[in-house]
Structures are given as C-alpha cells and as structure tokens.
Amino acid sequence: MTTNAELAARFEEFADLLEADGVEYKPRAYRRAAENIRAHPAPIADRIEAGDREAVENIDGVGDAISSKVIEYVETGTIEELEDLRSELPIDIADITRIEGVGPKTAGKLYRELGVQTLDDLEAAAEAGEVQEVKGFGPKTEQNILENLEFARTVGQRQLLGEARPLADDVLAFLESIDAVERCEVAGSIRRWRETIGDVDVLAATDAGEDVVEAFVGWDSVDDEIESGPEKASVRVGESRVDLRVVVPEEFGAALQYFTGSKDHNVALRNYAIDREMKLNEYGAFDVSSEALRASSSRTESDDDIEDPESGQRVGERVAGETEDGMYEALGLPWIPPELRTDRGEIAAAERGELPALLVRDDIRGDLHTHTEWSDGNTDVAAMVEAAAERGYDYFGIADHAEGPGIVGGMGLSDAEILEYAEEVRAVGEEAEIEVFAGIEANVDADGEIDLSEEVIETLDVIVASTHSALDQDAETATERLVHALENPAIDVLGHPSGRLLNERSGLEFDATALGEAAAEHDTALEVNSNPRRLDLWGSAVQAALEKGAPISINTDSHRPATLEYMRWGVHTARRGWAEPDDVINTWGLADLREFLH
Ligand code: DGT
Ligand code: CA
Ligand code: CA
Ligand code: ZN
C-alpha cells in the first residue's frame, strides 16, 4: 500500500530533479502538491483503489497533470516521467542538496560537468580541486562544500521538536543577554511548532548588527561556524544548525513574519496583499495603490518609507514593519498564531473573524495517560501523583499497561493484577490533594477489540486503548480497526492512534475524518500523545477530526515525573490542529469529565 508520505517523497524528488534539469515553475507546483499530499488526512491510495479519482484532483495543488501521475504511481509503483529523469540525472539529490549552498540546480551542474552522483563523489571531486574549475564555482565554494560535507552527512534526519526547541530557548536566552539586542524571537518551523525541525531560525532586532553576529558566533555553546556575514550567521550546536538573522528594530515585525513561514502561508498572504493593492516583503508592508504611488513619486527627496530595500525602487508608502501584528493589521487581518500558518484555511478564517481561540497550556487541568512501576514506568504511584499535584493539576490519571498483543511479557497487568493495582491507586488518591483516576492502557488488537473483564472495566475510571501491534496494516483495515475501537463504550480515549515513532516508524495510516466522525458519535476522545517521539495525533489529523466534532485528550504518556512537562509539545500540536479549550476533555472541570468517562 502506497502511503501519503511515500507519495510526497516521490514528488519532492521529482521537483528537485526537474529543477536540476533547468525546468522552471513546475518544481514549485510539485513541491506544493507534495506538501498537501503529506498533510492529507486520508490515505490517497485508498481512494484511487476505490476508483475515486476525483478525490485526488480535489487535493489542493493537485490538478489534472499531477493527479494522473499520482494515480500512475499508486497503480504501477513508478512514474515513467520520473524514471526518465532519474536515468538522465542519476543523482542522490536529497543527500547532495543538504549541503549548505548546494541546491538542485547546482547539483545538476555538478553532475553534468563532473559526473557527481553522491556525497562521496562530491567529496572526491572537491578534494581533487575539480569543483573550483567548473564555471560559476571558485576556490571559496569548493572550500565551503568540503567544510559542510560532514555536517550534511550527519543531519540526514530532521530533528525532533522536543530536542530542537530547548536549544532554541537557550539561544534566545543568550541573545537576550546581549545589550545591543532590543528584541529577539525564534522563527521558522520551530516557531510554528512543527513536529520535526530542519534547522533552528532566530531573529534579533538591533542597531548594532555586526556586533551581535560576532557575539553569536562566539557563544560558548557553538561547536562550528558554518558561515557568517554582516546580517546573518549559521552555526552548528551539537547536531543542530542555528541560523541567526539581525535586522533593524523598524523591520523586526516584517522579518519575523517572513522568516516564520511557512512558505505556503507566506505565498498565500502575499497574494492576499496583492489583491488589496499592498505589497509585503521581509522589510515591511507597502501601500502600492495608485494614490500612494502618485504621492510617493511627487515627493522629491528620498524618503525611506517609500523605498523597497530589496530593489531600491519606490514602491509606495510603507505602512507597517516594526511589529508582526502590524503586518497583518495592514491587510485588515487579526494576527494569525504561528501554529496555524500552514495555508490550510487560516487566512480565510482570519478574514471572516473566525480564527479559533486556541487553547493554552494553563487550560490543561490534568493528564489522563501516565505510567508507574506497576508496568514499565520508573516510579511508584505516589511519586507520580505528587508531581502532578505540584504542577497544579486538578486531577490525574494513571494508566499502566494491561497485558496483551505488543506488550513485552511480564510488563502488562493481568485482570487480577489490575484489581490489586487499582486498589493502590485509589489508596494514594485518598491521601492526595488532587483527584486521582485509576485507569489502564488496554491494547487494541488487530481487529479493534480490547481484552478486559467486565469487572475490570467497571472498577476503573479511565480506559485508554492503544495499538501496540499489527502496525503494518493497510489504511482501510486500520481505519476500520480504529473506528471499531472508538465504538466500544468501555473505551474513553484512543491512545496514540497511529503508533508512529518519528524518524523511526511511520505507524498506521488511516482516514482521520472517519476517526473524527466515530469519536464524535461515540463520545470517545482521540489522544494527542505529547511524547516528542510520537506527537500522535498531529496537526492536520486533529484539524480533520475536530471538523467532525471529535473530543480530544492531550496526554503525556509519562513513564517518570519529569516528562509530565511533555504537555508543552502536546498543547502546541493540538493548536496546530485548531483546538480550542472546550475541544479538549482534560481542560474540563471534574464533574463534566466524570460524566464523559465510561
Ligand atoms: P525547516 O527548517 O525545514 O524545519 O523549515 P523552515 O520553515 O524553518 O524553513 P527554513 O529554515 O528553510 O526557512 C525559514 C523560513 O523562512 C520559512 O519558513 C519561510 C522563510 N523563507 C525562507 N526561504 C524562503 C523563500 O524562498 N520564499 C519564502 N516565501 N519564504 C522563505
Ligand atoms: Ca528552519
Ligand atoms: Ca533556516
Ligand atoms: Zn502509555
């Protein structure tokens, strides 16, 4: 079964190879299609196999031409045109373009001139001094390639948000300690809280840019300087690449908006601006209506608010740029939270005044899925409950593993052990300042069933049910399996629905809209598992489920007290899915939550 992720990867490769071949416009269209295919809530191959070709054409950015290639790939496992390109340009394009400064066009040139196909080929050519002989290259480029090769080899994978964000916080704290820095903020995917991060982008507002760049590359934590100039620098810190840009304070808001992305959001926003006779760039928002242009050309002396620093041309009146709020306000829009900037309807919602009032960390009143040493956790019930009380929660659920498919022998509790364990959880609960739920994490078997006795179901307060086995099912089977579990009145929360592990395994593919419908109908919550290796469900799936009215539960799946902090990742992931406080059952008061639970 072809997954959406696999399809997306093929079209990304396609885009790179087309660009390497010198083709214009098409690569961008293919990249956009790839992104929408990856984010699509339902498995596309399923629709094709069901004969529903229209469903493919209805995906944003996928027109006639691309949809016929999608269908060709699903039906035959290849795309003839892509195969032709691959034999014309047999390059490991994803690897080679990971080198800073080497894009698809450069990769194409290196192949045509020097026969470079792999990172190893490129290293050999650079070491032999052949790269600097190629037209358009020089000794400096060659040196740059050699310096960045090793790094390109080690950062094959995108980093987890949970690893990159703490580093970004450290970078911000360092920048804030520099006197010349007036404001600083993270940008890029990390500000959008994407679950994986290519590199960390930070932005500083200052009137002393070169000093700030110098201080940044001299920061204690920096392992290597990748490149630096008067307005920006890139460094390596451990496994991560950090890009700093410095801007003058008057342009900080414009730069922040631009460098936060996503690219798709920015393209859509720029088009929205053009329709309103405005122009946006990283320096500001400009009124380019004919009136403003007339006014600007009648002015004689140069006025810095009417020049585009990119082109030096007069482009009308600069109306915003110092704050990001102001950039959106200049278009008549409210500020759009970075988590929503994916071009999945946020600009239209902003225009209608219907942006969601996203939940925040403080709305969370408890965690419903955690573990203790009764199964595979590392502390006892009392220590977990104490840590939860310290966080100010009103209630807290322990959900240790029941035995069953996918659980290592001895790690899961039998029905008899569950009764004994529930008694201890209740005893700790009696003594605690907060409400403690005795729960269990049951195992959803390959058919969507769980295996718990009636007595156990009646005794427990919360039943989380998760898949730990048969994660290679096709999407149709997996959707049926999960919907079947959602229909089970005993189940309160469907835990980590896909079973994916980021950078490790893709987990189940399913139709998130169908899950959302079943969850809404049967009052079963879909989990956003906050473990940074999981983030399961993710933004686009949460959004699809919420459109059907599904209840959501954000839990940490903690196996030790410290990871109760993972709630941070879950909350921002749910925000990426447009979640408001009421959508999330563990923001509710105790009485409402009790009524929801089985
Ligand atoms: P990443 O690093 O792969 O996780 O993803 P981003 O989104 O952080 O991407 P990055 O680091 O390449 O660039 C940061 C932001 O800068 C990006 O989200 C949007 C903006 N940006 C960069 N290059 C371009 C561009 O060529 N066009 C537009 N419109 N925006 C760009
Ligand atoms: Ca980035
Ligand atoms: Ca970057
Ligand atoms: Zn668990």
**Annotated domain spans of the chain:** 4-155, 159-247, 254-352, 361-596
Q: Which fold has domain 361-596?
A: TIM Barrel (3.20.20)
Residue 199 CA, closest ligand 1 atom number: 2
- Does the fold of domain 254-352 match that of domain 4-155? no
- CATH value of 254-352 in 3.30.1490.20, 3.30.210.10, 3.20.20.240, 3.40.50.150: 3.30.210.10
* CATH 1.10.150.110 is the classification of domain 4-155: yes
386: Cα within 13 Å, side-chain hemisphere: 6
On whether the CB atoms of residues 161 and 569 are closer than 8 A, the answer is: yes
Tell me how far the alpha carbon of residue 17 lies from the centroid of ligand 3, in angstroms: 22
Ligand at shortest distance from the CA of 197: 1
Residues in contact with ligand 1 by the CB-under-6-Å rule are 188-189, 194, 197-199, 201, 258-259, 261-263, 266-267
Residue 484, H or E segment: helix 475-487
Tell me how far the alpha carbon of residue 370 lies from the centroid of ligand 2, in angstroms: 32
d(CA 555, CA 562) in angstroms, rounded, equals 14
Ligand at shortest distance from the CA of 194: 1
- The pLDDT profile of the chain, 598 residues, written as one tens digit per residue, is 677 777 888 999 999 999 999 999 899 999 989 888 877 777 898 889 888 888 888 888 888 889 999 999 999 989 999 999 999 999 999 889 888 778 999 999 999 999 999 999 999 999 999 999 998 899 988 998 998 887 777 656 789 999 899 999 999 999 999 999 999 999 999 999 999 999 999 999 999 999 999 999 999 999 889 999 999 999 999 878 999 999 999 999 999 999 999 999 999 999 999 999 999 999 999 999 888 777 777 665 545 455 666 665 556 889 999 999 999 999 999 999 999 999 999 999 999 999 999 999 999 999 999 999 999 999 999 999 999 999 999 999 999 999 999 888 778 999 999 999 999 999 999 999 999 999 999 999 999 999 999 999 999 999 999 999 999 899 999 999 999 999 999 999 999 999 998 877 789 999 999 999 999 999 999 999 999 999 999 999 999 999 999 999 999 999 999 999 999 999 999 999 999 999 999 999 999 999 999 8
Cβ neighbour number for residue 130 with a 10 Å cutoff: 18
371 Cβ contact partners less than 8 Å away, ≥ 6 residues apart: 377, 398, 399, 400, 401, 441, 557, 558, 559
d(CA 189, CA 229) in angstroms, rounded, equals 23
560: Cα within 13 Å, side-chain hemisphere: 3
Residue 408 DSSP one-character state:
P
The predicted model scores a pTM of 0.79
* CATH 3.30.460.10 is the classification of domain 159-247: yes
On whether the CB atoms of residues 448 and 480 are closer than 8 A, the answer is: yes
Residue carrying structure tokens 């790269």: 131
226: Cα within 13 Å, side-chain hemisphere: 23
d(CA 303, CA 315) in angstroms, rounded, equals 11
Ligand 1 mutation pick, 242, 259, 265, 324, max ligand atoms within 8 A of CB: 259
